[in-house]
Amino acid sequence: MKEKRLNFGCGDFRKEGFINLDGNPAVQSDVLHDLDVFPYPFPNNTFELIEGDHVLEQ
């Protein structure tokens, strides 16, 4: 079974083999969702790995 992986807040940095999620409609994400709105559009325990680069802001 293939591991499900999420690239959280992908921006312009899509990752091959990941579901790429972003809140900006200008980027080419697989899933468009406002990252400040909960719940996220995935059931609990969907992903084995979640990566997020440069997604936390002050």
pLDDT in tens, 1-54: 689 999 999 999 999 999 999 999 999 999 999 999 999 999 999 999 999 988
Pairing of strands 31-32, 49-51: unpaired
How deeply is 26 buried, as exposed, middle or buried, from its count of CB atoms within 10 A (0-12, 13-18, 19+)? exposed
Annotated domain spans of the chain: 1-33
Q: Is the whole model's pTM more than 0.95, yes or no?
A: no
